[in-house]
Structure 1
Amino acid sequence: MPQILIDHSADLDFDRVGFVDDVQRVITEVIDTAVEDCKTVFRPAVHAAVGYGTTGQAVMLVEIKILAGRSVEQRAELSARVLALLESHLTVPTAIGVEITELERATYRFVHHPGK
């Protein structure tokens, strides 16, 4: 169920596999889910800027979508732990943000399409 969407400066060099492994582990520690249910998408941005784009900072924004019903405290803990992971994985000046959003249980659908 968790959807991990990672938007980042295209030229940002970081260990994607290591980061995903750590994020998925943290998610399973904070909310009731399994690593096998996590889905991650990296979306490199052709252009990313902080302010006027003169700082030279890279940008990384992480959104984790989870099913509704978790407490504010759980969501806050998850965002704080993911932020700490980002800080440990990034080696260049980077503007980073983390957001935990909720998927409405009544309307969210997901399937594993077998292909044709």
Structure 2
Amino acid sequence: MPQITVDYSSTMESAFDRTGFARALHASVVEIAAAKPEACKSLFRPAGFTAFGHDDPEERGHAIVHVTLGLLAGRTDETKTKLTEAVLGLLREHVKQDGFVLHASAEVRDLDPSYRKYES
């Protein structure tokens, strides 16, 4: 915990500082949600095809990024909101505008009570 997934358009691959974003995001999760630094894990998943509205996807004029943070239950709605706002701010800092319109979103979810992890 936390389990962080970052889905993003491959359109923004060269404009997205994923390393810097992950480091800053992990620091924010520690500060805001009282997570342990060594517990922060992020998975980045580029999407080769994304579509926006009625625009032609081949023009690649739009990029989409959505960040999902799964936390153990117990955080207040205020903490979750503060964390999603921090994520959006960090995306502004770590994605260069490179000829596309960026559509960014984030959400915090409580992990199901069945959540378990394994390390070896």
TM-score normalized by structure 2?
A: 0.87
Q: CA RMSD in A?
A: 1.3
Select the residue among 94, 99, 114 that pairs with 1:107: 114
Task: Supply the AA of the counterpart residue of 2:83.
Answer: L
Alignment of 1:53-72 (within 5 A): 53-54=55-56, 56-72=61-77
Alignment of 1:44-83 (within 5 A): 44-54=46-56, 56-83=61-88
Measure, in 2, the Cα distance between the counterparts of 1:37 and 1:15: 21
In the TM superposition, residue 89 of structure 1 has moved relative to its aligned partner by 1.3
In the TM superposition, residue 52 of structure 1 has moved relative to its aligned partner by 2.1
Identity %: 35
Instruction: String of CA shifts for 1:63-82, please: whole Å, max 9, x gaps.
Output: 11111110000000000111
Equivalent residue for 2:44? 42
CA contact (8 A) 2:3 2:40 kept: yes
More helix by share: 2
Equivalent residue for 1:90? 95
CA contact (8 A) 2:18 2:94 kept: no
Task: Supply the AA of the counterpart residue of 1:6.
Answer: V
CA contact (8 A) 1:7 1:43 kept: yes
* Equivalences, count: 112
Equivalent residue for 2:27? 25
Instruction: String of CA shifts for 1:80-107, please: whole Å, max 9, x gaps.
Output: 1111111111122211110111102x31
Task: Supply the AA of the counterpart residue of 1:8.
Answer: Y
Measure, in 1, the Cα distance between the counterparts of 2:54 and 2:68: 24
